[in-house]
């Protein structure tokens, strides 16, 4: 979501005539887009912001904009006192305050700013920043902003506000616009993306939205994330199975494998319900890959409860598990009502156990690809190798001098590891074989 938000800020700034600077100390405007979903992310953001202070002292004209979840949607008075050298505070997904600040007192620029603001506020005609136009292969399109679920550990509903779905016409226009600028793959985003349209009377649901976006010519692939087990419908699974551009990959956090911990997190399902849903997804979408999120060391999590999470992951053998150690987020229900009583070294121990387990599972799943032919959408060259993804979202590297950016090409997998694969390019057979006539004098 932050990548998508940053793209919108860059786009709004370019509409005002700004260009990306190569170095922080060359910039006239610095936008720090922040995430506070974990304590480590918040610490990093604060550290980075503090490190900008000497630059602002040397260069008083520099505009520093703090944006995103650290600012939140409920005002920023305390932040102003804490970081007096920050010029502008912007809530998540809103370049408006920065644009207004940069164009104060200039009526011509104000008009441009208003246009930029309208565009950047997601009216469907997103112009990618210059560096990305024609280069960006995979892009994100937010379709549901905010979240109203309120899991006890989560800060997002406080920082990003209540759930609101974007209008389907805006989304379709934005996807068209991105495809016209060279994008081949779109990921539809929402904190609970399957709740798309629930707040729009008679609006389409996510399954219907996928069918609409599927019609965009030139778009090769569609993904969506993040799903919540309570909102994964049969219609959605049917749409994924049926629509060739929608990739067989589901991101569906479980967070814990113990019912009491799930209840304390207010996730709204049991471990058994999650298990049955994974079975249903696998039956509905052949070859599907499933990724999950897990938090270890949630308040009160006993050794036995952690073991149930371990066993669930060991049984389900999901493709990916994003692991996190619980850290209390100020203002959340868990922080106010539950004691953070699992010692830090124990959280680390549990984290490493799951990490090791998942590494083995991911390695086994990848090994099944060895020698297989798969279609890969290539995105960019990284250290001399082309990087792309399979439909199941596995990372593949290919060494070739060909320019593969934005192409879906068939490859044969030659090496697999838990986190990536290597492959060789299978050359397309030419449609008309060139005929060379060679006369040999005998």
264 binds ligand SF4 (CB under 6 A): no
The least CB distance from residue 179 to ligand SF4, in Å, is 28
38 binds ligand SF4 (CB under 6 A): no
Euclidean distance between CA atoms 269 and 426, whole angstroms: 45
Q: Residue 298 is encoded by which pair of tokens? A: 């949630």
Phi/psi for 80 (5° steps) reads: -60, -40
Please identify, using beta-carbon distances, which residue of 229 and 406 lies nearer to ligand SF4.
Answer: 229
**In whole angstroms, how close is the CB of 147 to ligand SF4 at the nearest point?**
3
| Using rule CB under 6 A, residue 283 touches ligand SF4 | no
Which residue from 344, 275, 346 is spatially nearest to 309, judged by alpha carbons?
Answer: 275
In the window 284-323, what residues touch ligand SF4 (CB under 6 A)?
Answer: none
- Nearest distance in Å: CB 277, ligand SF4: 15
- d(CA 99, CA 9) in angstroms, rounded, equals 9
Strand residue runs (E) in 43-142: 63-68, 88-90, 138-142
- CB nearer ligand SF4, residue 64 or residue 156: 156
Of the two residues 208 and 333, which places its CB atom closer to ligand SF4 in the complex?
333
Dist CA 335 CA 428 (whole Å) = 57
* Minimum distance of ligand SF4 from residue 197's CB (angstroms): 17
CB of 350 to ligand SF4, least distance (A): 19
Distances from the Cα of 346 to the Cαs of 325, 326, 351, in angstroms?
Answer: 10, 11, 8
Based on CB atoms, which residue is closest to ligand SF4, 65 or 327? 327
Q: Which is nearer to ligand SF4, 255 or 390 (CB)?
A: 255
Least Cβ distance, residue 225 to ligand SF4 (angstroms) = 11
Residue linked to tokens 């370019």: 14
99 binds ligand SF4 (CB under 6 A): no
Pairing of strands 373-382, 385-389: antiparallel
CA angle 160, 161, 164 (to 5 degrees): 105
User: Which run of H or E residues covers position 438?
Assistant: none
The nearer residue to ligand SF4, 128 or 188, going by C-beta atoms, is 188
Q: How far is the CB of 266 from ligand SF4 (least distance, A)?
A: 8
Cα–Cα dist 387/406, whole Å: 11
Alpha carbons 21 and 133: distance in angstroms, whole number: 17
Q: Could you tell me the smallest distance in angstroms from the CB atom of residue 82 to ligand SF4?
A: 25
- Candidate list 228, 308, 387, 394; residue touching ligand SF4; CB under 6 A: 228
Q: Minimum distance between the CB of residue 233 and ligand SF4, rounded to whole angstroms?
A: 16
The answer to the question of residue 240 lying near ligand SF4 (CB under 6 A) is no
Place of tokens 């809530």: 91
Which residues 1-20 are close enough to bind ligand SF4 by CB under 6 A? none
Q: Judged by CB under 6 A, does residue 426 bind ligand SF4? A: no
Tokens of 386: 């082309």
Closer residue to ligand SF4 in complex, CB, 31/192: 192
Identity of the residue, 157 or 297, whose beta carbon is nearer to ligand SF4 in the bound complex: 157
Minimal distance in Å, beta carbon 49 to ligand SF4? 24
Q: Please give the residues from 137 up to 196 whose contact with ligand SF4 meets the rule CB under 6 A.
A: 147, 149-151, 154, 156-157, 191-192
Whichever of 149 and 385 has its CB closer to ligand SF4, that residue is: 149
Q: How far apart are CA 203 and CA 212, in angstroms?
A: 13
Q: How many residues bind ligand SF4 (CB under 6 A)?
A: 10
Residue 235 CA to residue 242 CA, distance in Å, equals 10
CB 411, CB 398: distance < 8 Å: yes
Give the span between the Cα atoms of 196 and 190, in whole angstroms.
8
Q: Which residues contact 79 (CB under 8 A, 6 or more apart)?
A: 66, 70, 71, 86, 89
Q: Is 338 in the site for ligand SF4 (CB under 6 A)?
A: no
- Nearest Cα to 288, choosing from 221, 365, 228, 215? 365
Give the Cα separation of 414 and 34 in Å (integer). Answer: 39
CB-wise, 166 or 389, nearer to ligand SF4?
166
In the complex, the residues that contact ligand SF4 under the rule CB under 6 A are: 147, 149-151, 154, 156-157, 191-192, 228
């Amino acid at each position: 979501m932050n990548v998508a938000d940053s793209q919108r800020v860059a786009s709004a700034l370019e509409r005002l005539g700004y260009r990306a600077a190569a170095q922080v100390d060359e910039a006239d405007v610095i936008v720090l887009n922040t995430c506070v979903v974990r304590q480590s992310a918040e610490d990093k953001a604060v550290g980075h912001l503090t490190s900008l202070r000497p630059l602002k002292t040397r260069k008083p004209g520099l505009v520093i904009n703090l944006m995103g979840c650290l600012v939140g949607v409920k005002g920023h008075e305390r932040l102003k006192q804490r970081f007096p050298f920050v010029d502008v505070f912007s809530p998540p997904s809103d370049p408006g305050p920065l644009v207004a600040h940069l164009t104060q007192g200039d009526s011509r620029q104000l008009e441009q700013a208003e246009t930029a603001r309208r565009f950047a506020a997601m009216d469907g005609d997103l112009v990618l920043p210059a560096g990305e136009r024609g280069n960006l292969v995979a892009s994100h399109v937010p379709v549901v902003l905010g979240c109203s679920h309120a899991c006890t550990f989560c800060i997002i509903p406080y920082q990003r506000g209540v759930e609101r779905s974007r209008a389907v016409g805006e989304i379709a226009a934005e996807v068209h616009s991105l495809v016209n600028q060279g994008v081949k793959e779109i990921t539809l985003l929402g904190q609970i993306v399957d709740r798309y349209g629930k707040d729009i009377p008679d609006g389409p649901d996510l399954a219907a939205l996928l069918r609409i976006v599927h019609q965009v010519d030139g778009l090769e692939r569609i993904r969506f994330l993040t799903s919540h087990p309570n909102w994964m419908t049969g219609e959605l699974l049917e749409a994924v199975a049926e629509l060739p551009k929608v990739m067989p990959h589901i991101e569906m956090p479980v967070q814990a494998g113990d019912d009491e911990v799930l209840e304390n997190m207010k996730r709204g399902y049991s471990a058994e319900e999650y298990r049955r849903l994974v079975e249903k997804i696998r039956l509905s979408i052949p070859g599907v890959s499933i990724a999950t999120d897990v938090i270890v060391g949630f308040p009160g999590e006993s050794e036995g409860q952690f073991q149930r999470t371990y066993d669930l992951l060991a049984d389900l053998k999901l493709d990916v598990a994003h692991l996190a150690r619980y850290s209390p987020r100020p203002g959340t229900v868990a922080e106010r009502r539950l004691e953070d009583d699992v010692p830090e070294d124990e959280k680390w121990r549990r984290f490493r156990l799951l990490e090791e387990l998942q590494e083995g599972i991911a390695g086994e799943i990848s090994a099944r690809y060895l020698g297989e032919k798969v279609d890969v959408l290539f995105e960019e060259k990284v250290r001399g190798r082309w990087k792309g993804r399979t439909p199941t979202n596995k990372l593949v590297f290919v060494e070739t001098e060909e320019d593969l950016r934005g192409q879906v090409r068939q490859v044969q997998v030659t090496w697999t590891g838990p986190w990536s694969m290597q492959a060789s390019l299978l050359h397309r057979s030419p449609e008309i074989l060139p005929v060379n006539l060679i006369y040999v004098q005998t």
